[in-house]
Each structure stands twice: as C-alpha cells, then as structure tokens.
A and B are shown apart, each in its own frame.
Chain A
Amino acid sequence: MPERASSVLDHFQQGDLDAFESLFRMHQRAVYGWILRIVRDASAAEDLTVETFWRIHRAHARFESERAFEPWARRIATRAALDWLRARRPETELTDRVLADLPARPAVDPGVAAEIRNKTAQAFARLPSRLRVAAVLAVVEEQPYKDVAAALGITVTAVKLRVFRALRLLRKDLERQGIKP
C-alpha cells in the first residue's frame, strides 16, 4: 500500500490529473476539517477546500514526493484560510448564524452567561488573524502545538507566543467592555 501511495505521489508530482484526483479523494475530508476549524463557516470551508486543492495542483512540481502529502496540504490550506480571514471584515465574522450552522461538539457551560460568550466571540473576531488562527487551533481545537507550528510554518515557541498574545489582547478587550474574565 505505501508503495502504491508513493507511486500516486510521484505521478501527482509529474502533473498527472488522475493521481491528483486520487489524492483529492483521499485528503479532501481532512483538508476540509482543518479549514473548518480555522474559519468556522461550513460554506467558506468548502470554497477554501476547492481553493486549496487548486493551489496544490498549481504547486505540484514543487512537491517532494518522498515527503508526506497531508502536512504539505495542511500548510497550503492554512495559508488559504489566513488569506480569507484577512480579507474578511471582522464585524461580519462569527455572527450568530455562522455559529448556529457550525457542526460543533457541545461544550457550552450553562454557568457562563450567553452574553459573555457572545462578547468573547466578538472580541476574538477583532484580533489579528495570525493570532486568531494560532489560538483557535491550539486552544479551542486542542491540536498539538507542533502540528499548528508546521501548518503555520513557524516554530512551536512562536505558536505559544501568538497564543499568549491572543489571550492577553482578548482579556484587555473584554476588560474595556467592563467584563472581568
């Protein structure tokens, strides 16, 4: 099986469309799930999955077939998601509709007031996108720091720093609104 996978990667690297489709079928779910974790909008995640595989196809000649496909795809997906977040106006992000449509695991504590949750989500949407992506992947989605670092193309220390800065800015924003976290 690994021999077959390696052959598909070789063919993909040479620009074979069938090999590209095989890789798409194998990895589209993982790529979609990764993007959804970042953008938290199912419709946008679908569009960005298409965009990611287009970028992957465009970069096929640069792919090193002896390396794993998924981390490479994840890195391209993260860049596409970051581009989307940067282009989006913060005030339109994480609206109630988007949050309601999101296939999320139940994690709501009735002890935390809905108003505080909403204000936290809105304050989080105002953070710089680079900080947001690191925080949402590492804190909310609890992805390993090394995976987040690889996807962002930075060190684990840099991820920890971004998460810390995101939390500090979030806390300041909430305090400005009179909320003591």
Chain B
Amino acid sequence: MNAHDEDRMKQLLRQALPPVETDAEPARDLWPAVLRRLDAEPARAAGSLRQNWFDWALLTGLIVFAAAFPATIPVFLYYL
C-alpha cells in the first residue's frame, strides 16, 4: 500500500465514521453511579482476584505452548 492508497483509505474511513462532536457530554449526572460503583467495590475486587487467577493460568499456558512450539512466537507477536 503506497502513500496515495493510505491517504485514500484515511479519507474513506473518515467518511464512514464521522468524527465525534468535540463538546459532547454525558446526558446525565454520572456521580451517583460512580458512588454506587464504589459501594459495590468489595464484591468486584473479589471478582477481579478470581479473574487474576485465570489470567495467570492463561499466561502460564501460553508460555508452555511457546516453549513447546517456538515457531509460533512470531505469529503471536504479529497479533499483539
């Protein structure tokens, strides 16, 4: 893709997704929702701890997989 093609794609993308208004603001006051979210924090914190467990297990699995099949490492890096 040359520079001209790149410019054309940028132009097309701007046509497909018009930019958002710069002065956009929320339709409601979000502070009460933030306070409710803070009240629910302990429950969510426990949930995130469980999620961390899963993340670590996934990471370990990936490392084992990469060690077993090193040829797949460039493929993973490409999609990062």
What separation, in Å, do the CA atoms of A181 and B9 have in the docked complex? 7
The reply to whether A171 and B9 form a contact with Cβ atoms under 8 Å apart is yes
Per-position contact with A for B1-27: 1 when CB-CB < 8 Å, else 0?
A: 100011011101111111111111111
Query: Chain B: which residue is nearest A130 at the CB level?
Result: B80
Query: Shortest distance in angstroms between B27's beta carbon and chain A's nearest beta carbon?
Result: 7
Per-position contact with B for A33-64: 1 when CB-CB < 8 Å, else 0?
A: 10011001010011001110110011000000
Given the complex, which residues of A lie within 8 Å of B31, measured CB to CB? 21, 24-25, 28
Cβ of B46 under 8 Å from chain A: no
The reply to whether B30 and A117 form a contact with Cβ atoms under 8 Å apart is no
Cβ of B77 under 8 Å from chain A: no
Given the complex, which residues of B lie within 8 Å of A49, measured CB to CB? 26, 30
What separation, in Å, do the CA atoms of A173 and B79 have in the docked complex? 17
Query: Shortest distance in angstroms between B72's beta carbon and chain A's nearest beta carbon?
Result: 18
The reply to whether B16 and A120 form a contact with Cβ atoms under 8 Å apart is yes
Instruction: Say whether, besides A139-B10, A168-B1, A46 and B30 are in contact (CB < 8 Å).
Output: yes
The reply to whether A29 and B15 form a contact with Cβ atoms under 8 Å apart is no
What separation, in Å, do the CA atoms of A142 and B13 have in the docked complex? 12
Given the complex, which residues of A lie within 8 Å of B34, measured CB to CB? 24, 50, 53-54, 57
Instruction: Say whether, besides A32-B26, A46-B26, A54-B37, A121 and B17 are in contact (CB < 8 Å).
Output: yes
Given the complex, which residues of B lie within 8 Å of A94, measured CB to CB? 17
Query: How would you classify the secondary structure of chain A's contact residues: helix, strand, loop or mixed?
Result: helix
The reply to whether B20 and A167 form a contact with Cβ atoms under 8 Å apart is no
Cβ of A133 under 8 Å from chain B: no
What separation, in Å, do the CA atoms of A109 and B9 have in the docked complex? 14
Selecting from A4-12, A71-79, A84-92, A98-106, the interface stretch reads A98-106
Query: Shortest distance in angstroms between B17's beta carbon and chain A's nearest beta carbon?
Result: 5
Instruction: Say whether, besides A46-B30, A167-B6, A170-B13, A141 and B19 are in contact (CB < 8 Å).
Output: yes
Pairs A–B under 8 Å by Cβ, sample size 23: A29-B26, A32-B24, A36-B20, A37-B20, A46-B27, A46-B33, A49-B30, A54-B37, A57-B38, A103-B21, A104-B18, A106-B18, A108-B18, A112-B12, A120-B13, A120-B16, A136-B17, A140-B13, A140-B18, A141-B20, A167-B9, A168-B1, A170-B13
